[in-house]
Chains A and B, each alone.
Chain A
Amino acid sequence: MLRLFKKERMWRTGDLKPRYDVVIVGAGVHGLATAYYLGSRHGIRSVALLEKGYLGSGNSGRNTAIIRSNYRTPEGIPFYQASVKLYEELSRELGWNMLFSQCGHLTLAHTDSAVNGLRVRAENNQVLGVDSRMIFRDEIRRLVPAMDLSNRPRFPVLAALYHPPGGIIRHDAVVWGYARACDRMDIDIHTFTEVTGMRVEKGKVRSVLTNRGEVAAGSVVNATAGWASIVSKMARLPLQIVSHPLQACVTEPLKPFLDKVIVSATLHVYVNQTDKGELVIGAEIDPYQSYSMKGTLPTLEQMATYTLELFPQLHGLRVLRQWAGVCDMTPDFAPIIGVAPEVENFYMDVGWGTYGFKTAPIAGKCVAELIATGKTPNLIAPFSPARFTTGQLVGEKAAAAVST
Chain B
Amino acid sequence: MLDLTAAGAARAIAAGELDPTELFEAYRARAAADELNAFTWVADAAPEPADGPLRGVPLAVKDLFCTEGVPSQSGSRILEGYLPPYTATAVRRLEEAGATLLGKTNQDEFAMGSSNENSAFGPVLNPWDRTRVPGGSSGGSAAAVAAGLAPWALGTDTGGSIRQPAALCGIVGLKPTYGSVSRYGMIAFASSLDQAGPFTRDVTDAALLYRHMAGADPQDATAVGHPDTIALPSAQRLDGVRLGVPEELAGGEGLEPGVLAAFEAALQHARDLGAVIEQVSLPTAPKALSAYYVLAPAECSSNLSRFDGVRYGMRADADDLDSMYTETRHDGFGPEVRRRILIGTYALSSGYYDAYYATAQRVRTLIVREFEQAFTQVDAIVTPTSPTIAFELGSKTADPLAMYLNDVLTVPMSLAGIPAISIPCGLSEGMPVGLQIAGPAFSENRLLDTAYALEQVLEFDGSPARVGAGA
Asked if A pairs with B, the answer is no
Q: Which residues of B contact A (CB under 8 A)?
A: none
